[in-house]
Amino acid sequence: MEKANLNTNEERDEMIGGTAGSEPTRVIPTVINRLAPDEIFVFGSNAKGLHHAGAARVALNKFGAEWGNGEGLQRQSYAIPTMEGLQSTRLAVNRFIQFVQQHPELKFMVTPIGCGIAGYTPEEIAPMFTEAVDQDNVFLPMSFWEVLMKK
Q: Is 118 helix (H, G, I), strand (E, B) or coil?
A: coil
**Residue 37, in any domain of the structure:** yes
- Residue 75 phi/psi, 5-degree rounding, is 55, -110
pLDDT band at 30 (very low <50, low <70, confident <90, very high): confident
Amino acid at 36: A
**Residue 140, in any domain of the structure:** yes
pLDDT band at 22 (very low <50, low <70, confident <90, very high): low
**Residue 15, in any domain of the structure:** no
pLDDT digits (tens, 9 = 90+) for 60-72: 999 999 999 999 9
Q: CATH no. for residue 138?
A: 3.40.220.10
Q: Is 69 exposed, middle or buried (0-12, 13-18, 19+ CB in 10 A)?
A: middle
Q: Are the C-beta atoms of residues 64 and 77 closer than 8 Å to each other?
A: yes
**Residue 75, in any domain of the structure:** yes
Domain that holds residue 105: 30-148
pLDDT digits (tens, 9 = 90+) for 37-49: 999 999 999 999 9
The domain tally of the chain equals: 1
Position 9 scores a pLDDT of 54
**Residue 99, in any domain of the structure:** yes
**Residue 100, in any domain of the structure:** yes
Query: Whole-prediction pTM value?
Result: 0.84
